[in-house]
Amino acid sequence: MSTTFAVEVGNKQVEVARRRGIGMGEVTIIWLNDLVEILPDETPVVPTDNTAQGVETLSDLRYLHIHHKFKNNE
């Protein structure tokens, strides 16, 4: 299962990341837009094609990118 996440810029949603399950309860994050490098951790993200499953901000996506799962699932 996978989910694409976007940030809202004005009245548009700009896709910034894709979360993809890689098995054993782990995920990988694929960055889709260099915009994520300049946005703060607190930037809200919205799922565009699936459920958020606990991801609310860029900080959540960055954590998953490094650890491949949330703290409470480790």
Burial of 63 (0-12, 13-18, 19+ CB in 10 A): middle
Q: Which residue has the higher pLDDT, 71 or 62?
A: 62
The answer to whether the CB of 45 falls within 8 A of the CB of 62 is no
Task: Give domain limits for the chain.
Answer: 2-73
Mean per-residue pLDDT over the chain, rounded? 94
CA torsion sign for 37, 41, 47, 48 is: negative
pLDDT at 25: 87
**17-44 pLDDT, tens digit each:** 999 999 998 999 999 999 999 999 999 9
Name the pLDDT band for 1 (thresholds 50, 70, 90): confident
pLDDT at 70: 81
Q: Average pLDDT of 37-64?
A: 97
